[in-house]
Chains A and B, each alone.
Chain A
Amino acid sequence: MSEPLLCVRNLNIDIPVGGGTLHAVRGIDFELQRGEVLSIVGESGSGKSLTSLALMGLLGKRIDRRADRMDFDGIDLTRAGKRQMRALRGDRMSMIFQEPMTSLNPAYTIGDQLAEALLLHRNVSRQQARDRAVELLEKVGITAAASRLGQYPHQLSGGLRQRVMIAMALMCGPELIIADEPTTALDVTIQAQILRLLVDLVREMDMAMILITHDLGVVARVADKVAVMYAGELVETGSAGAIFNAPSHPYTRGLLRCIPLPGRTARGAPLGTIPGIVPSLVGEIGGCVFRTRCDHAVAACHGAIPHRGEADHMFRCVHPHGHREDEETPA
């Protein structure tokens, strides 16, 4: 296998809070090949956004990020200086955020904001930057693109703004695009539309993508790889096929039970939910973080949790098959 585009080993993110230190992300490992789509799933607060912001070097000053390795195309991001990170951001790696309504600067036209993304990294004229902006606005399906350049964000709907954000992220033709719940804030009717657009563009332009989403249906359709996060840890990771066909961690199985999947969930079957709440991540954390909500919890769950499986499908659980041996494999 060729050198991965992105390689993360033992990523930890600590946030100082009132009562001590919030260990928001702990010991994350993953890899991403060029042109691959990795989907990070997990419930709210599991550290998905922090992980992506860490890759972009966009965590706040107070937040402490440590990793054994964090390489982007051979560049060691853990040692990269501000200047080097800035050169990468928006050029070779870019990000689309969850909040299209507030992610554009209200004081500048979208033409200016799109052009800026290119002008920051390429030695081109303003006119060339504007031409590129029109080209990308057309690509993201905005009609009368040239006439949109003079419009301000407040004149556009949420869906249009998110299309603009996507266009902006693509201005320099990045190799990696991180989309953090890009459609959550949008109307249900246009969510699918925008997501399909994004995925098509990623395939067309041969980019790698990290797609953070709550929509497992989308994951099943577009992801090559899936990483399941729970309370700051990666509990299971593997190819999309492996995760959907043989979910091993009790949390992953719980998640999959929560959503109706065409062909997998019987029509009218009740949706599963995972009872319980996420433990506090402030202070020392030992053992399996999911044990308080797990049907399969045993005494050993308080101890060290082994990594199981092979490189293309790994999970962390004391049980060799993700469940107590005396039970049969849940469907």
Chain B
Amino acid sequence: MLQFILKRLGLAVLVAFTVSFISFSLLFLSGDPAAALAGEGASGEDIEALRTLYGFDRPMLVQYGDWLFSALRGDFGESYYFKLPVATLIAERLTVTMLLGLCGITFALVTAVPLGVAAAIRPNSLIDRIALFLSVAGQAMPSFWFGLILIVVFAIKLGWLPPSGAASWRHFIMPTIVLGYYAMPAIMRLTRAGMLEVLNSDYIRTARAKGAPEVQVLFKHALRNAIIPVVSLAAVQMGFMLGGSIVVESIFALHGAGYLAWESIGRNDLPTVQALILIFSMFYIVFTFLADVLNAWLDPRMRSS
């Protein structure tokens, strides 16, 4: 088990380095950062001065090493736009994004898994059809559209929930539903498919032959096996959500990291964008690593491979 974790960890670190280098260099590929920083109408001299000031004239690898080393110590430089340390800027917003991501994935899991199980127990039943409808609707409906419907109904018409902001837990209800609903269809389908397959397996028949009650057969014997790929998927989706909540954050004016990334791209605020890309990809890598570890923990066959 330990060996397996170390192997995966090594792999994760390797991927992290690659990703950090790509995220670093992508911004250089997108144009001259000094020119971008100086803004339109700046003279050639100004641009050169900025180039020297920010060290853009050094070899790229040196710049990368410098940037990475600082980043590892939590120093991402200063935002061009806010003139504040990027780390401070992001730390504030990241709490909102992480909270939203956590709520979103929880919402997705607590709705999708029971629905998937219920649908698998009775294929083609009413509940299966409802689950199918919900998952198709979830995949077909863009998040911004669904978000707007919720705002119109629950904030404007009924006045039950605040339409925007992040001041209280009530502000998080609609964003959670929209973000969670985005992840729900895939989780539900995987749960349903997994349960259908597992319920047909020989060891389920063995469990019944032992005299195990149906609830125990379903949850202890079947779900325990069917949930393994679902856990991985959820972890990977969680990684996605943390970086992909831009739309949801914008609709509900939740000032999270996704929203900041969106704005920073528009403002050509390179250090902030770089740092956010790095952080988002690190989340993704960490959650993929967690998915592997959870997988191994849940599936004894994985541990020895």
Contacts and interface: CB of A to CB of B under 8 A. Distances in A.
Contacts of A94: 209-210
Contacts of A108: 224
A105 B205 contact: no
A103 B209 CA distance: 11
Interface stretch (A85-93, A139-147, A222-230, A290-298): A85-93
A168 B207 CA distance: 11
A58 B74 CA distance: 61
B203 A103 contact: yes
B107 to A, nearest CB: 27
Nearest to B227: A107
A99 B209 CA distance: 14
A90 B299 contact: no
B143 to A, nearest CB: 35
A120 B210 contact: yes
Most-contacted residue by chain B among A88, A107, A120 (CB, 10 A): A107
Contacts of A97: 202, 205-206, 209
Given A107-B298, A107-B299, A88 B211 contact: yes
Interface string A77-109: 000001000111111001101010011111111
A58 B209 contact: yes
Contacts of B208: 58, 89
Contacts of A160: none
Interface string A2-27: 00000000000000000000000000
A117 B212 CA distance: 8
A105 B211 contact: no
Contact of A103 (B206, B298, B301): B206
- The range of chain A's interface size is 20 to 34
B87 to A, nearest CB: 43
B211 A107 contact: no
A152 B203 contact: no
Contact of A116 (B210, B298, B299): B210
A88 B202 CA distance: 20
A82 B221 CA distance: 19
A135 B62 CA distance: 68
B44 interface: no
A56 B209 CA distance: 7
B41 interface: no
A307 interface: no
Given A104-B203, A105-B225, A117 B300 contact: no
Nearest to A98: B202
Contacts of B212: 86, 90, 116, 120
27 contacts: A56-B209, A86-B212, A88-B211, A89-B211, A91-B211, A94-B210, A95-B209, A97-B206, A97-B209, A102-B203, A103-B202, A103-B205, A103-B206, A105-B224, A105-B225, A106-B203, A106-B299, A106-B300, A107-B224, A107-B299, A107-B300, A116-B212, A121-B211, A152-B301, A154-B304, A155-B304, A168-B206
Interface of A: 56, 58, 82, 86-91, 94-95, 97, 99, 102-109, 116-117, 120-121, 152, 154-155, 165, 168
